[in-house]
Structure 1
């Protein structure tokens, strides 16, 4: 035995290396699952290793600052720097191709707006409440006046980690915006003080029976128990996967998630593509009115946009009856915190600018825009994109992926695998332990402050006080044809309706505006 041990010890390191390579080569040759490994033993494994880290190589080494999607390095760097209160400026001019088709030009006034010393924005340059009170037209018992024109879009606990949801909610409270739960239900991590919009998807998570049917009594009890729930959002579809239900893999379902959603452990949970509580427009409106009546809260719908016939039917029905949603959230086809088949993520539903402009015109033609609050989402968490949305008729902007970036997301694009390296989109305890909710909530608040301030700065450059004053002639779009540009009004064929606005000082006196961020 001693002699055998001595012989083993006498084998040089390279001898062991040769043996390992021989065993790997033998394994590769004998297997029939991967042709490359069989035909090129040992070295063929490097092909799969490089493929695995390909996205990281392209992200950090190969791609230039303006090349990546969905958010390029320049955009991500601005969000990261803003969230950390670092220098987010750029020098030596723009590095973008300003003559490319679709490029956005915001047109400043010859003389910018000069704010008096007693103007509210001078004291608090980060506070910009909505110009509209949601639910007022339909006389809801509990109308809601959002304290910010920019808010958190629907992202569920389950898709996001507990630490990420907690950080966002704490940051939303500190800044003064609302936090949409996503269709995954109300978790303990949504209960850190921010206003909450409760999202109701096709699976009715948290307000369902054992068979997945909607239960009104559960919704009423939930809203009574948690008065910080300020609105209900009926999700018809979302930009990431319009017309297709979601899947929460069994691997991501913890007992906590199962209890919140009222779902079983141990198997994948599938959200149906369609609602079971209604099947047509009149039934949907009746469902909305029933929820509003029972809870007293404003109720709206969220949807991506494709065919327009049902939108026209909804507008006609609202015009005829005076009933319907209090707000409409349009999600662009470029939206996407949810995992989705590439065919849906890439090709199903219209991008925001096309979808929003078509739906807005439908309600405008029937004189309904003043009765509704329009919410826009889909890569709008950057100042220029948000300004364009406001100019097209959006009253509020919801952000999702940009919020994730502000708390540490690195755009690894593996949200659906439960292996998110930043701990934002995973239920892996080890990975999410790297998130400090207190620190990340400050990062989110800093990002929201910077985004809101830059939108307001652009307002002032154009001679306005508030984003609701933007018009479609304030923004030009490059046509890619002989370097011509056209205003949004010409490009999309309409002018947005003016929004009633008597000045920011008057807006801040609204009796429904009870959440105001602290002065900087």
Structure 2
């Protein structure tokens, strides 16, 4: 017995040095990494710290406003709104007021709350967290059920898309909805939580992304914008060509309120490990095959052909059809708007980015007499009420949000969305990893986040001295240059 114990002790003592020696020899003789050939141990530590770099920077080294693509403050603002339905901060703003940026001008005599045009007639039943204890080593909180006001637009302020040109116009009672996020890029639990949470909030919508419409998008009673990308997922035949019949089936669904057409300049990508049998069935592709969708449609080559294709979709489906654009070459945009103006029967939804592009296109549409017939969706890091208000004032009719909603179904910005190894079960189709995501709990956070945004938007509306967020305009926005000079947007 003593001999056995001595042998075991010897093995325990010698195992680590032997392992280190093995790793040293292996790295010393490998050919791929120069630093490991000369410094096997230090080189291994270097790669370990490099691998942990994003987490170290996010939690230890960057201040609350530095991280990209979203700072710690931006992330927490979205999560706290969903978890506690709160936007209260302590002590004061951490914004750098010496830097350039957009600001909403407040009125000397703001609008009283009872003067605002809000529809809070029907309450929304949800769950929110209440904090009991928050110390360095302990954190306790509990869920409570609450009936909250939805902060919907009144009937007179409702945004109507395709009012004069579509058999079935789209009525939007809120100004904020979900931007394009595909099933496949996100797992079924994340899509389900988003659908149920948005449906519970009411007055909002979810964009399916180019991955097409899945059963999970339809889990909640939420309005759907069904997106069609260049790969035509879900509306194509076996050869990948556009299928009128498949398109008719999708557009005939009552929850589908509008259709959107868009493409990425780099094309789309989904790793084969994410393409399950279910995703393959929905997208009409092969199981396990990596998908690289084109960066443009082959169905049209000119502005006139583009508008003709959109008109075809609108005529078949009877619902509004939108164009998703990134404004780069201003001459191209001018040419497109000019073609729209001559294409008198077209009146659809247009999705565009913010700041420089948004006021430019807003003005361009006014000059060509199209502004009343086209609705502008703005998107691009608009995850808090102040950013939404600025976008609306710059010319947007409606706003799309993706990341703020992802945060509220559990995203921690691990930045491994493309690998199918999302540690919190959001951007993965792996059932084991999706176990982390509790659909019911996350759906309530989605509800709280959207309603909190709408409530904050009405607070800013009152501060600006108007009665509805639909009345925010460029006269309410100022831009501060880095040198302190102020520019009025309407000038």
With normalisation by structure 2, the TM-score equals 0.89
- How far the C-alpha of 1:463 sits from its partner, in A, is 1.4
> Which residue number corresponds to residue 187 of structure 2?
161
Q: Is the 8 A contact 1:128 1:452 kept in 2?
A: no
Decide which moves more: 76-85 or 353-362: 353-362
Correspondence 1:484 to 2:485: yes
Secondary structure of the equivalent of 1:190? coil
* Residue 395 (structure 1) shift: 0.5
Q: CA deviation at 1:399?
A: 0.4
Whether the aligned pair in 2 keeps the contact of 1:285 and 1:325 (CA below 8 Å) is: no
Query: Which structure 1 segments of 5+ residues have no match?
Result: 333-351, 491-520
Q: CA deviation at 1:290?
A: 1.4
What secondary structure does 1:477 align onto? strand
Distance in 2, matches of 1:43 and 1:312, equals 57
Pairwise CA distance, 1:86: 5.8
Partner of 1:336: none
Mapping of residues 254-265 of structure 1, within 5 Å? 254-265=276-287
* 2:190 counterpart SS class: helix
CA drift of 1:474 comes to 1.1
Of 160, 163, 187 in structure 2, the residue corresponding to residue 133 of structure 1 is: 160
- Provide closer, same or farther for how the CA distance between residues 266 and 119 of structure 1 changes in structure 2, counting only shifts above 3 A: closer
Match of 2:39 in 1: 40
Q: For residues 207-265 of structure 1, give each alpha carbon's deviation from its aligned partner in whole angstroms, at most 9, with x where no partner exists.
A: 101221111121112222x2110101011x3xxxx422112111111010000000012
The residue number in structure 2 matching 1:91 is 90
Partner of 1:354: 356
Deviation at 1:359, TM superposition (A): 2.1
Please tell me whether the aligned partners of residues 281 and 310 of structure 1 are also in contact (alpha carbons under 8 angstroms).
Answer: no
SS in 2 for 1:398: strand
Alignment of 1:244 with 2:286, yes or no, is no
Question: How far has the Cα of 1:92 moved from its partner?
Answer: 1.9
Q: State the distance in 2 between where 1:265 and 1:321 align.
A: 42
Q: In 1, distance between residues paired with 2:189 and 2:15?
A: 45
CA distance in 1 between counterparts of 2:421 and 2:32 reads 25
* Cα distance in 2 for residues equivalent to 1:486 and 1:270: 44
* 2:227 equivalent in structure 1: 199
Deviations 1:92-137 (A, max 9, x none): 2222210202x22221111111243896456545213664310013
The residue matched to 2:171 in structure 1 has which SS? coil
Q: Matches of 1:4 and 1:271 in 2, distance apart?
A: 65
Contiguous gaps of at least 5 residues in structure 2:
122-148
Corresponding position of 1:143: 169
Question: When you count strand as a share of all residues, which structure comes out higher?
Answer: 2
Structure 2 counterparts to residues 45-194 of structure 1, below 5 A:
45-85=44-84, 87-101=86-100, 103-116=101-114, 120-121=118-119, 123=121, 124=149, 126-128=151-153, 131-138=158-165, 140-176=166-202, 177-192=204-219, 193-194=221-222
* Separation in 2, partners of 1:233, 1:86: 31
Alignment of 1:315-330 (within 5 A): 315-330=337-352
Quickly say closer, same or farther: Cα 1:243–1:41, change in 2 above 3 A.
Answer: closer
Do the aligned partners of residues 269 and 125 (structure 1) sit closer, same or farther apart at CA in structure 2, a change above 3 Å counting?
Answer: closer
What does the per-residue CA deviation read over 1:404-451, in whole Å, with 9 as the maximum and x for residues that have no partner?
012111111111111111211111111111111111110011011111
**In the alignment, structure 1 residue 272 sits paired with structure 2 residue 272:** no
Q: CA deviation at 1:3?
A: 11
- Which of 428, 434, 437 is the matching residue for 1:435? 437
- Give the match's secondary structure for 1:277: coil
Which residue of structure 2 aligns with residue 17 of structure 1?
A: 16
Q: State how far apart, in whole Å, the 2-side matches of 1:118 and 1:353 are.
A: 27
**Could you tell me how far apart the structure 2 residues matched to 1:217 and 1:157 are?**
22
| 1:404 aligns with one of 399, 403, 406 | 406
Partners of 2:314 and 2:398 in 1: CA distance: 21
SS at match of 2:110: coil
The alpha carbon displacement at 1:15 in A equals: 2.0
User: What is the rounded CA distance, in whole Å, between the counterparts of 1:354 and 1:441 in structure 2?
Assistant: 34
Q: State the alpha-carbon separation in 2 of the partners of residues 438 and 7 from structure 1.
A: 55
Instruction: Answer whether contact 1:115 1:122 (CA < 8 A) is retained.
Output: no
Query: CA RMSD for the aligned pairs?
Result: 2.0
Give distance in 2, aligned partners of 1:77 and 1:275: 38
Distance 1:117 1:394, change over 3 A: closer
421-430 vs 163-172, which deviates more? 421-430
- TM-score under structure 1 normalisation? 0.85
1:37, distance to aligned residue in structure 2 (A):
1.6
2:144 is matched with none
- Give the whole-Å Cα distance in 2 for the aligned partners of 1:161 and 1:92: 39
Q: Work out the CA distance in 2 between the residues paired with 1:394 and 1:73.
A: 27
Change beyond 3 A, Cα 1:120–1:266: closer
**CA distance in 2: counterparts of 1:435 and 1:325, whole angstroms:** 40
Which secondary structure does the structure 2 equivalent of 1:257 belong to? helix
1:300–1:325 CA contact under 8 A, matched in 2: no
Q: Secondary structure at 2:257's aligned position in 1?
A: strand
Equivalent pairs counted in the alignment come to 460
For 1:499, the equivalent position in structure 2 comes to none
